[in-house]
Structure 1
Amino acid sequence: MTKKSTLQVEKVNTHIVNWLKKYAENAKVNGFVIGVSGGVDSAVTSTLCAQTGLKVLCVEMPIHQAQSHITRGREHIEQLKKRFPNVSSIEADLSSVFETFKKAVPYISDSDKVHLSLANTRARLRMTTLYYFAGIHCLLVAGTGNKVEDFGVGFYTKYGDGGVDLSPIADLMKSEVFLLGNYLKVPDSILNASPTDGLFGDERTDEDQLGASYDELEWAMTQDEAGQSSNAFSGREKVVFEIYKRLNTINQHKMTAIPVCFIPKK
């Protein structure tokens, strides 16, 4: 499961920055708002937005967050503000809001489904917060999803981190996001950290949840797009390919348009 990226990072950087700037100008907004988590996707996205010269608001939204995530996010934000005068930041601690929500809804049982639903609730509270700031400052909510998450395995929360106005890095694989992050001088603490969605308030990684690394899932996505089936593989490759296919299948509801019941003209 080896791969070699041919990403021309400088050209890709310029292309995305120009695309962001043109989109914002056509939308007649002041710039962008981004939720900064301490991960590489939000770090790269916020740096790309900063290069447009338009207003960029980085929002920290901890909900019982692991301290390591908070530390990495703040390191990136401080670095970004020193590099770009158009960048500002604000913190909205949503821990108490999350606890109030939990008290307001029936707590059925201490099950995996409840824990997952509450994890997704965290993401949806953050989405609501980002749109609050976007409305106040006339900004667009910039998404931070990459290609393998958004269109491969659907590893994001519907109407949570999937609720955005535009997605600047959604055509880049995770490995390509890391390459771009290195080019953009994202802090090493972020580039060297294991990817995590941070929705459970602990140190579990994305790989812990998915059962495969992003490099493995990118390989599987490429094989699937080439028309391969699991019968073509054995050992770890077969396991990874089947993980990818299962996630891709059950998460199609995130990747396709909302079904509409059309009424016949007659």
Structure 2
Amino acid sequence: MQTQKVVDHIVNWLKDYATNARMSGFVIGISGGVDSALTSTLCAKTGLRVLCIEMPIHQDERQVSRAKEHINQLKKRFANVTNLEVNLTETFEELKKALPIVENSEQLNLSLANTRARLRMSTLYYFAGLHKYLVAGTGNKVEDFGVGFYTKYGDGGVDLSPIADLMKSDVFKLASAVGVPESILNAAPTDGLWGDDRTDEDQIGASYDQLEWAMLQDENGHTANDFNGEQARVFKLYKKLNTANLHKMNPIPVCKIPVNLKK
């Protein structure tokens, strides 16, 4: 990959899109992970205004620390970057009080994790509306179009996706090239939705390198019968997640009413 040319291409794409949309800049949720760090740096390179927002909800302190380190570094490098912290922990807890909590439900924790992501999305759009900013997405290709590892109408609710055509390995290459802090580059990827240190790999059941391999094999027309052992396991896992999460990746289905029924 021609790293610097890819960086320049994304930066120009971001700037052109915002200019044509007559928007003033970008707002981005900063998690302490490499995807949001890369995205915010690319947005900063456009010269347009960039608002980085931390939105902790019972957040692991290591994630908070990495997010602050990145934002402080970014503000020193780019005069067009500002930041805010909106602590949503109390809001999240108040919302839980208003909802019926089903004890011992295996879906409860997942539903609450997705609720965190949707609270953050709403917060980003609040500031986007105030300042005429675009909400910049931070999903990469494996997450957005491979296994669907994101929350529908949460971190999946964005105006544009600058890094969604990059594999996770590409994200790390570009992040290193644009000066993302080493602490973020060396941290295990995590979605930060659980209030602990569980990683993406813990949740998914495979590493991003393995998922990239499976995604490429699938695109090349292979099936699970073409592999054995660990490769077969990973490929089957990828296909299972891809199929289960197509509802996130495909357009919302619309029930078309026959013309004769409308008369």
Residue correspondences, number? 260
- Residue 254 of structure 1 deviates from its aligned partner by 0.3
Give the CA RMSD over aligned residues.
0.5
- 1:1-16 alignment to 2 at 5 Å? 7-16=1-10
Is residue 2:167 matched to residue 1:173?
A: yes
- Consecutive unaligned residues in structure 2, runs of 5 or more: none
Question: Which moves more between the two structures, 227-236 or 108-117?
Answer: 108-117
Amino-acid identity (%): 68
The equivalent residue for 1:35 is 29
4+ aligned runs moved over 4 Å, structure 1 = none
Is residue 2:82 matched to residue 1:93?
A: no
- Residue 265 of structure 1 deviates from its aligned partner by 2.2
Q: Distance in 2 between matches of 1:25 and 1:198?
A: 32
The equivalent residue for 2:147 is 153
The equivalent residue for 1:3 is none
Question: Which moves more between the two structures, 108-117 or 23-32?
Answer: 108-117
Letter in 2 for 1:84: F
Equivalent of 1:210 in 201, 204, 209: 204
The equivalent residue for 1:133 is 127
The equivalent residue for 1:258 is 252
Letter in 2 for 1:219: W
**TM-score for the superposition, normalised by structure 2:** 0.98
Equivalent of 1:60 in 32, 54, 57: 54
Q: Distance in 2 between matches of 1:63 and 1:111?
A: 21
The equivalent residue for 2:78 is 84
Letter in 2 for 1:74: K
**TM-score for the superposition, normalised by structure 1:** 0.97
Q: Distance in 2 between matches of 1:225 and 1:178?
A: 22
- Residue 109 of structure 1 deviates from its aligned partner by 1.5
Equivalent of 1:111 in 93, 105, 128: 105
Q: Distance in 1 between matches of 2:124 and 2:255?
A: 31
Determine helix, strand or coil for the equivalent of 1:45: helix
- Consecutive unaligned residues in structure 1, runs of 5 or more: 1-6
